[in-house]
Each structure stands twice: as structure tokens, then as C-alpha cells.
Amino acid sequence: MDISLRQLGRVDYASTVAAMQSYTAERTAETPDALWICEHAPVFTQGLAGKSDHLLNPGSIPVVATNRGGQVTYHGPGQVLAYPLIDLQRAGYFIKEYVYRLEEAVIRTLAHFGVTGHRVSGAPGIYVRLDDPFSHALLAQRPTQDNTRLAAPPDFTGLGKIAALGIKVSRHCTYHGIALNVAMDLEPYLRINPCGYSGLPSVDLSTIGVSVTWAEAADVFSRKLLTTLAP
């Protein structure tokens, strides 16, 4: 069954989450999968594992508690939000592979713009080298086949985070999703410990030298997601 793509534009965060919850609660075995692409006004969102001490100085930006996994993150203009609503049982893959496929779509999107995205062992999301975002050299801290590095805390030396993910699975069906930073005001990230990591730099395509519109990035990201999430 094909995934239907919906471009929502800039929408309210809380009402979008409510709509995803309704879609997931009401869907049947025949309900088509969907991919919602959107942008939000500035908001901090706190995951189920979120600790209040990671929220350093929210100021006037609202903080919304949510039922996705993970810690605190920031959403704002210039960021592409992708919310896949996928029946994993029907698609034929499990949560771990779902996360891998989400990250793979980011890596392929970055590659389209000449940037090399990296996974870091033990830390979901996608990262880039701050000194050379275009280098293809592998990271020492990448995940390994035998997961030997998982015992150690994630090593973010020389890296910036360009995409964050937080998901929820209910009755084998996914919601929430993944955010790709395109051309943002990155200052709000300084008001939190992004994803629970103190001092982890957050970057976007703009700050690493890639000039691209939100619409173009959203189009490429959508196409990569539709490919990687296919059954």
C-alpha cells in the first residue's frame, strides 16, 4: 500500500500531535499509511524520558509535554518536520529498523546537498562534522556490527546535530517523527541540553554552508522518506 504525502505548511504543534493521535487511534487494517510534512512556530517539546533540568532557560518559548520517546528538543521555523504514520506490521519491519530507515532518509537527503551525515553509537539522530561537513571519512564513534561501543557514552567530539528524532508506536503504528534543520535561528538550542546532552551543538544546512529553501529541502526529504519507508 502506498504512503500518502501531505504537505501541511506551518501548523500548530499541539494540534498536529492531536491529529496524529486521532489518525492512529481510529485507523484500521485498511487505513493507508501517511507522511505529514510541516513546520512549527518556536516550541520546546519534552519527551517521556525528559528531565526538567535539561530545560535551562525556555524564556518566552512554550514548553509542551509530549508522549514521544526521548528528551527535550526544539522546533521552529526553518526546520522540516516529517511525521510518518506507518503500520509497521503491514510494512514488515520492526521499530529498530524503522529508526534506521528514518535516519537513512536524512543521510540520503544530506548527500543530495553534498553533505555527509553520520550516525553516532547510542545516540539516535544524524550528525555532521563541524570542521568538514562534506568529508566522507567514517567516524570512530559510529555504530558497529557487534555494538561494542554501546557500553560507552556517546562521543560527540567535533560533531553537530542536524536531525533529531522522537517516535511513538501504538498498536504497531507510528507517529511523531524526525526533524531536519535547514535554515533556523539556532539560539533556542542554547536554552536546552538538546536531547539530554549538555553542550551538544545543533547545526542546520545554512550554518554548514548549504543554501537551500525550506520547500526544496522538504521536497527532497519527502522523496527520500517515501523510498526508505516503503515495505
How far is 231 from 226, CA to CA, in rounded Å?
10
How far is 229 from 231, CA to CA, in rounded Å?
6
Lowest mean pLDDT among 99-113, 139-153, 168-182: 139-153
* Range of the structural domain that residue 161 is part of: 3-228
Confidence at residue 147, expressed as pLDDT on a 0 to 100 scale: 55
Task: Reply yes or no on whether 195 is catalytic.
Answer: yes
Q: What is the mean pLDDT of residues 52-75?
A: 95
CATH number, domain at 149?
3.30.930.10
Compute CA distances 27 → 23, 24, 130, 175, whole Å.
6, 5, 42, 12
Sequence letter at residue 145: Q
Selecting among 37, 115, 192, 195, the annotated active-site residue is 195
Residues whose CB falls within 8 Å of the CB of residue 187, separated by 6 or more in sequence, listed in order: none
Count of domains forming the chain: 1
Which cell numbers in the block locate residue 219? Answer: 521536497
Confidence at residue 148, expressed as pLDDT on a 0 to 100 scale: 52
For the purposes of burial, counting CB atoms within 10 Å of the CB of 164, is it exposed (0-12), middle (13-18) or buried (19 or more)? buried
- Furthest-apart CA pair in the chain: how many Å? 48
Q: What is the mean pLDDT of residues 71-96?
A: 97
pTM of the entire structure?
A: 0.96
Confidence at residue 49, expressed as pLDDT on a 0 to 100 scale: 86
Q: With cut-offs at 50, 70 and 90, classify the pLDDT of residue 151.
A: low
